[in-house]
Amino acid sequence: MKLQLLCLLSAILKSKLAGFFNPMALLQLTVPFIIFTLSAQVSAQTPFTRDVTGDLLQQVMPQATGFSEKSGEPPVFTAYGVLPDSGETGIIGYVFQTSDMPPLEVGFSAPIEVLVALDTQATITAIKILDYNESFRSSRGDFMSARGFQEQFRRKPLTDEFRVGRDIDGVSRATITSWATTRGIYNAARRVAQVYLPDSGIAAGQDSSANLRAHLEPLTWDELKAQGMVKELAVALPDSTVLNLSFAFLGNNETLGELLVGAEDYSRAERDASNRFDAGALVLTGIGGNASDPFRQERLSLQQNGVDYEMPRRRFVYAGSAMDGKIARQAQYAGAMVLPAAIDLSQPFTIFYDPVNGQTPSSLEFQVTGLMLDVALGNEILAPGAERENAASSSDVNWTRVLALLVIFALVMATFITKNARLRWLTLSVTLVYLGFFSGGFLSVSHITNTINLGPSMILSDIPLLMIVVFTLVTTLIWGRVFCSTLCPFGAVQDFLSKLVPKRFQKTVPMAIHNKAIYIKYAILALIVVMAFVQGGVSIFQYFEPFGTLFFYSTSIVLWSILILILLASAVVKRFYCRYACPLGAALGVLSLISLSRIKRVQQCTACTVCEHACPTGAIERHKVDFKECVRCDICESKLIQKAGVCRHTVDSLIARGVKLIPLKTI
């Protein structure tokens, strides 16, 4: 170093004597300067290596008396030493390289190679950064050897968070590298603990992560919406453009983040959040629509138990361009709100967005439930199909939804029993508004496919959903498709269409065509179920269930086109979708074949077509009722009660007039 410095001083002195504008003098100045700079940089670095020597092993596990060769899966150096309990020699830990535990965490420009030692108590004894190739290392030297960073990992239990900005202090001006190094150490150490320390409790955490992935990986974005894990808010602006916002709970869970937005985008969002705040769960916010006024995070706010929480810019972090994870192509870009620590995640809170000053803010109620609540509370996530004891504790139940469903069930049964037309329209209105647009808690064929893929735990862990499933199954087994009559919000949409569209525009499908077309929906059901068995990760149900598009405000042009076509067809043909395309209706139709109670028919029905013309699903042909197609809408039964057709005459009077009646075997 002294020699280079003397050369540099000599060149400067000569340039002074010869003049700065002398080319040779400038050359004599420049060359020594370059040599000095390069040599200084080299001398500022320590020798980097990927070869693990005995000395390096001893540095990270100093209490060891010997080490095995690297072996096993994942590969480790087994450390031997004196066991404190017995005084005998035995295994005291494991040493491993993070590069042997893919996928590698990438820092500013490349992975960081770290040697890690883990004792039998799942505690990291020490680490040693072996090699890294960051683009700015040449100007800063071995900056990861800065005093204090690597020392933080000594005697650090794996039960800690391992989050830069929380329990780890990063290297100044090297946040990305610090984050990647910490994450790489943590992930590799957990993997080693899961295999070599099965009784440490770390394996249970790993299993919960794997089980969470098994639950959610098969689900599409639309299925997450159908189950209430994703909530959407459409903000209408004064110029008729719309800002679509999607919200999903992320917490600080790496698995959730990777599934919903992709590993890289989640890592960036969590890193930014950790740098700004000591605590705070993340709520994913997808931004889309055709709004003329761009999204502004400061217009978001929260409210819980009457307390308002603002959402300043610092509490909102960027979460990518919505190109990865389940949000891909569902939004234009994504961010994440960092929830205030005062927010109680076990209770609902309201999200507001104020589009224009002075205009009433748009809002929605957000509730962390089911799997997401387990993540928030740190509960163990069981494998799909496994049942948790007391899975639905009273703290997990949304009692508002339970009460609302009980009221709706009461209205449905009162309508069915009384056959009152006005009460039916009231029930349809409540169903459409609450189950359709407000809670989105209706049934879908996706509940069938998800039960096939994930087991019954998805339904059993959600009490309101379980209530709807049980009510639907019980009523279908006893009376038939009562659900389709007054509990399906899209059935209500079609009934309102038939009520509003003038009769002259409505058409009747010829019976010959109708009798063949009704089997289309059974073919669709078979296709969806077969796909669930054969290709569980691919979902196609959204193309056959337009109510998801309508009630969850899909951003897909294709899905909206399908919805519009079905609505137009339903405006012309009563309950067109129920007749020919609904896969859930097909499933309930199959179940209704064993229903206990059938619609009453009388002998006069053999000479009457009043009910046949009034049936919205074309399920009646004279006295014959195709029960799998019947939606128990009460129309034909009401006409029988009111004696609106031939039934107003007695059998004897009709025979006396020469009307030919066919005896019924069952009346």
Q: How confident is the model at residue 285, as a pLDDT? A: 96
Average pLDDT of the chain, as a whole number: 82
Q: 366 forms bridges with which residues in the sheet?
A: 349
Q: What is the mean pLDDT of residues 521-530?
A: 92
CA dist., res. 616 & res. 635, Å (int):
9
What whole-number percentage of the chain has pLDDT above 90?
37
Query: 267 exposed, middle or buried (CB, 10 Å; 0-12, 13-18, 19+)?
Result: buried
What's the DSSP call for residue 227? T
Can you tell me whether residue 84 is helix, strand or coil? coil
- Identify which has the larger pLDDT, 398 or 430: 430
**Residue-wise pLDDT tens digits, 248-279:** 999 888 889 989 998 778 877 887 787 666 56
3-state secondary structure of 566: helix
Q: Does residue 464 surpass a pLDDT of 80?
A: yes
* C-alpha to C-alpha distance for 351 and 418, rounded to whole angstroms: 41
Query: What is the C-alpha separation between 481 and 628, in angstroms, rounded?
Result: 8
Q: How many helices and strands (H and E) does the chain possess?
A: 26, 17
| Half-sphere CA count of 30, side-chain side, radius 13 A | 8
Average pLDDT over residues 298-302: 92
448's torsion region: left (phi>0), alpha (psi -120 to 50) or beta? Answer: alpha
CA distance 284 to 248: 5
Q: Is the pLDDT of residue 393 over 50?
A: no
As a whole number, mean pLDDT of residues 438-444 equals 76
Buried b (16+ CB within 10 A) or exposed e, 596-617: eeebebbbbbbbbebbbebbbb
Per-residue pLDDT at 417 exceeds 50: yes
The answer to whether the beta carbons of residues 26 and 34 sit under 8 Å apart is no
Written as one letter, the residue type at 415 is T
| Other beta carbons within 10 Å of 207 | 15
CB count, 10 Å around CB of 560?
15
Q: 558: Cβ–Cβ under 8 A, 6 or more apart, which residues? A: 543
Distance CA 49, CA 431 (A): 67
Task: Return phi, psi of residue 328, to 5°.
Answer: -55, 130
Please state the φ and ψ torsions of residue 62, each to the nearest 5 degrees.
-65, -25
Whole-angstrom Cα distance, residue 382 to residue 605? 55
What is the pLDDT at residue 358?
62
Backbone torsions φ then ψ of 534, nearest 5 degrees? -85, -40
Q: Which residue has the tokens 């803010």?
A: 361
Report whether 547 contacts 436 (CB < 8 A): yes
Q: Name which residue leads in pLDDT, 224 or 462.
A: 224
Rounded alpha-carbon distances, angstroms, from residue 405 to 215, 411, 431, 434, 468: 26, 10, 10, 9, 8
Asked whether the predicted pLDDT for residue 357 surpasses 80, the reply is no
For the record, the structure tokens of 27 come out as 């050359």
Confidence (pLDDT) at 663: 79
- pLDDT grade, residue 548 (50/70/90)? confident
| Average pLDDT value for residue range 284-301 | 90
Q: Per-residue pLDDT averaged across 439-455, rounded? A: 73
Q: How far apart are CA 451 and CA 465, in angstroms?
A: 13
Determine contact, residues 80/89, Cβ cutoff 8 Å. yes
User: pLDDT band at 443, cuts 50/70/90?
Assistant: confident
Q: How many CB atoms neighbour CB 478 within 10 A?
A: 12
Q: State phi, psi for 348 to the nearest 5 degrees.
A: -70, 155
Q: Between residues 627 and 48, which one has the greater pLDDT? A: 627
Phi-psi region of 200 (alpha: psi -120 to 50; beta: other; left: phi over 0): alpha
- CA separation, residue 314 to residues 269, 275, 276, 516 (Å): 12, 10, 7, 61
Q: Are 256 and 229 in contact (CB under 8 A)?
A: no
Residue type at position 4: Q
Lowest-pLDDT range of 251-265, 311-325, 377-391, 457-471: 377-391
Q: What is the pLDDT of residue 497?
A: 94
> Minimal CA–CA distance to 75: which of 59, 54, 52?
52
CA distances from residue 584 to 43, 481, 641 in whole angstroms, order as listed: 72, 11, 30
3-state secondary structure of 67: strand
Residues counted in the chain: 667
pLDDT of residue 164: 75
pLDDT tops 90 at residue 112: no
Beta strands in 424-481 (DSSP E): none
Q: How far apart are CA 546 and CA 573, in angstroms?
A: 17
Query: Any residues with CB less than 8 A from the CB of 69 and at least 6 apart, and which?
Result: 77
Whether 174 contacts 108, CB under 8 Å: yes
d(CA 138, CA 149): 19
Mean of pLDDT values over 574-590: 94
Among 7-16, 500-509, 655-664, the range scoring the smallest mean pLDDT is 7-16
213: enclosing H helix or E strand: helix 202-216
Q: What is the pLDDT of residues 50-103, one digit of tens each?
A: 688 899 999 999 999 999 999 999 999 999 999 988 888 999 999 999 988 876
> How much is the pLDDT for 29?
47
In angstroms, the CA 450 to CA 482 distance is 23
* Residues 190-199, mean pLDDT to the nearest whole number: 87
Is residue 445 pLDDT above 50, yes or no? yes
Distance CA 667, CA 658 (A): 21
> What does the pLDDT look like over 41-53, one tens digit per residue?
333 333 466 688 8
Q: What is the pLDDT of residue 102?
A: 76
Mean pLDDT score, 118-136: 84
Q: Which comes out higher in pLDDT, residue 33 or 237? A: 237
How confident is the model at residue 350, as a pLDDT? 93
| Dihedral pair phi/psi, residue 357, rounded to 5° | -60, 130
